Amino acid sequence: MFTQVFFWAFFLVVLVFYSLVYKVNKLRTGYLLAVSLFFYFKTSGVFVLLLLFTICSDYFWGSRIHRSKSAAWRKVFLSISVVLNLSLLCYFKYAYFFTETLNELSGTHTLFFNHFAHFSNSFFSTHFSVDKLLLPVGVSFFTFQSLSYTIDVYRNKVQPVKSIFDYGFFVCFFPHLVAGPIVKAHDFLDQIYQPYKLSKFEFGMAFFWILNGFCKKIVADYLAVNFIDRIFDNPHYYSGVETIFGIFGYSLQIYMDFSGYTDMAIGLALIMGYRLKTNFNSPYKATSTSEFWKRWHISLSSWLQEYLYIPLGGNRTGTIGSYLALSVIIFFLVLLSGKLWLLLVFLFLALILVLLSYFFKKVHQSINTTINLMVTMLLGGLWHGSSWLFIIWGGLNGIGLIIHKFWEKISPFKNTNKLAVKIMLMLVTLSFISFTRIFFRSSNLQIVKTIFDRINNHLGFDLIGKVIYGYKYVMMAILIGYLIHWIPERFKLRYRSWFASQHYVVMGSIAVLVIFTMYQLMSGEMQAFIYFQF
């Protein structure tokens, strides 16, 4: 936890020894690799073996891809890398779900058996339950990151790393290891071989991002503990007005929580001389769903675009991969529902689409684009977990993207510079995104139904004044949070640059004051970062 004193004691020790090796690239890389593996071991214990397997496996397959002169063998080696990575990811994220679903479909009572827990218990004398499945922290992040390497080597976008130690460092560099940002090979590998450099201004910016992320996390926890968690845990206790405030509050909370982590990760990496790309760009300034996904969790959305959406055909055409991926998603939906008749429904819909594509050529391209968008967003939903709620959330965002593509062709507001129109579109986009997050945040479908029931049948609009007054500090924090978020970027650049340009004593004094103030908002134990669960 970047917000705990223990972590900062750890980081201080890391920096002390880093100061002895940072000028020599090989020593620097080896040292940070050892530190990162220790960090992950303290985070996830025996699952460090999974991380090591991923490193060794993809380093080997990347080398084979590079050395091979045959296009066919290059594809084979890449396929092996992709299958191994996705198989491990699917096992940890979906094995328990598959066992439950197969039992439901076949009427059996097969018990889930965790082979990794059994292995750990046998060889390391641990005491994991073999009928439970623990999700390794950050597995979705480091799997996608490692995949980017073998794919980039296959595409000749990067040269293979010089040693397995370099590759291990790329995969498990501890600031971004457990919750991103997802670092693509072609964005990072060159930095491993560059000499260390950090200007005084860059140090100031790194310090700013760490402080900024810390503040975001504290406020996010304050909102969660004092209001939002109560709404989503027991929505039947609250009016529709309170629920609506909770929904918009959650949009702010998850942004501050997740972007707070990545802000701190970017700052920590920069202090050690490595530049990570921005992961959030004021997403609630977006005036459309398409723009939102260019601003939100940029490392994941750009990864999905570069390694999934474009290879599937993007806006141009459909491919075999498009229909194969769609088939996998339909398979998941049937398993999630536990209803085999749903497969017949999907086959009937597929037949209609095939006929429309055959007789209407313009419809054919639109269908392909729609399929590629929906596949990308549905797989993005499944990336978060095997749940109907994540599937629905991904599907709704896919529908939002599709509607916007058609809306762009007829929109009277296209290329408008009117502030009032932009504000209206921004609020519409925020409302839609917040609506989809009902499914993302809720623990089950019953909670979702209750939330919609409270909004539709128990709105309590006359209570709005009492609600605002009763939660005045929470509402004030939400309002201030959104207002700061909407500050024009040029003003944000000014105060960031001002802070980074100050003397170390001034920066330190501001940091002490801010940290002291933020700790006054703490209502109890610090909450885990939301995206740790993915």
Q: CA–CA separation, 186 vs 178, rounded Å?
A: 20
For the chain, domain boundaries: 5-196, 198-280+438-534, 286-411
pLDDT of residue 521: 74
Amino acid at 443: S
6 burial level (CB within 10 Å; 0-12, 13-18, 19+): exposed
Query: pLDDT at residue 241 above 70?
Result: yes
Q: What is the mean pLDDT of residues 255-265?
A: 92
Structure tokens at 447: 């909670």
- In angstroms, the Cα distances linking 344 to 255, 334, 349, 351 are 39, 10, 9, 11
Averaged pLDDT score across all residues of the chain: 85
pLDDT > 70 fraction of the chain, expressed in percent and rounded: 89
- Residue 534: alpha-carbon gap to chain centroid: 8
Q: Which of 176, 297, 384, 404 is catalytic?
A: 384
Task: Answer yes or no: are the C-beta atoms of 277 and 187 closer than 8 Å.
Answer: yes
Q: What average pLDDT score do residues 166-193 get?
A: 89
Rounded to an integer, the average pLDDT of 258-265 is 92
What whole-number distance in Å separates Cα of residue 239 and Cα of residue 31?
55
Q: What's the first-to-final CA gap in the chain, in angstroms?
A: 15
- What gap in Å lies between CA 223 and CA 480, rounded to an integer? 12
pLDDT single digits (tens) 461-514: 888 899 899 899 999 999 999 999 999 999 999 999 999 999 999 999 999 998
Q: What is the pTM of this model?
A: 0.84
Nearest one of 255, 253, 257 to 228, comparing CA atoms: 253
Q: Which of the residue ranges 18-32, 103-117, 325-339 would you say has the lowest mean pLDDT?
A: 325-339
pLDDT at 136: 82
In 3D, which of 102, 191, 89, 92 has the Cα closest to residue 146?
A: 89
Distance (Å, whole) CA 36 – CA 40 = 6
Contact predicate 295/286, CB 8 Å: yes
Whether 384 is catalytic is: yes
Most confident of 97-111, 127-141, 177-191, 520-534: 177-191
In order of 65, 217, 325, 350, 522, the CA distances from 518 in angstroms are: 50, 10, 46, 54, 7
**8, 200, 201, 269, 302 from 503: Cα distances, Å:** 22, 9, 10, 21, 37
Match 């049937």 to its residue by tokens: 334
pLDDT at position 149: 94
Residue 36 pLDDT > 80: yes
pLDDT of residue 413: 79
How large is the average pLDDT for residues 418-436? Answer: 93
Could you tell me the two tokens for 505?
């004593």
Decide: helix, strand or coil at residue 69: coil
pLDDT tens column, 116-164: 778 778 887 777 777 777 778 888 888 989 999 999 999 999 999 989 9
Can you give the pLDDT at residue 353?
A: 65
Of 521, 508, 390, 492, residue with least CA distance to 444: 390
- Residue 197: pLDDT band by 50, 70, 90 thresholds? very high
- Please give the Cα distance from 269 to 356 (Å, whole number): 52
Identity of residue 452: F
Angle between helices 185-192 and 164-172 (to 10 degrees): 120
Contacts 24+ apart (CB under 8 A), 385-392: 385/93, 385/533, 385/534, 386/93, 386/94, 386/97, 386/332, 386/336, 387/336, 388/336, 388/337, 388/445, 389/439, 389/440, 389/442, 389/444, 389/445, 389/448, 390/439, 390/440, 391/332, 391/333, 391/336, 392/439
For 82, 257, 478, 525, 534, the CA distances from 529, given in Å and listed in that order, are 28, 6, 19, 12, 10
User: Cis before residue 181, ω within 30 degrees of 0?
Assistant: yes
